[in-house]
Amino acid sequence: RKRVGLGLIESKNSLHHILNLLSKNKVVGFIFDQHRSPPGGVYVSFFNRPAATTKGLAALVERSDALVLPVYSYRTDLGKMVLKITSPLPYKRVGTREENIYTNTQVYSHAIEQMVREHPEQWFWIHRRWKGHPEPSSSS
């Protein structure tokens, strides 16, 4: 990875490291379709099922105004790889910080869902995406 300018960001002090990279106009990638229980995650809909999803990306954008460009790759029938970079997802400010983070985490989850729908046979998924369940609302 390092030969082509890629690196991994350790979870310890990751926010500081990511903000530093963004301040230098570097690109930061997130693997978004991973299970992340609260408090670091929030349950949003993924293929019409609640899925614990990291809220780190939305929290980062809330703080930095970074652009989010969904990117994915797929193999053609001829065996060639295509890298698709889609249009930036606008950050929606709908209310409080937590409401913004929830709403945008749902937007990002929907973007992943759309990518999977385009090439479902190529979604490489080796973990339990829908493990766990959201806590019942205290207002019910």
Q: What is the pLDDT of residues 85-132, one digit of tens each?
A: 999 999 999 999 999 999 999 999 999 999 999 999 998 777 777 787
* Residues 51 and 45: beta-carbon distance below 8 Å: yes
pLDDT of residue 138: 45
Q: What is the pLDDT of residues 39-64, one digit of tens each?
A: 888 999 999 999 999 999 999 999 99
Length of the chain: 140
Tell me the pTM. 0.85
pLDDT of residue 2: 67
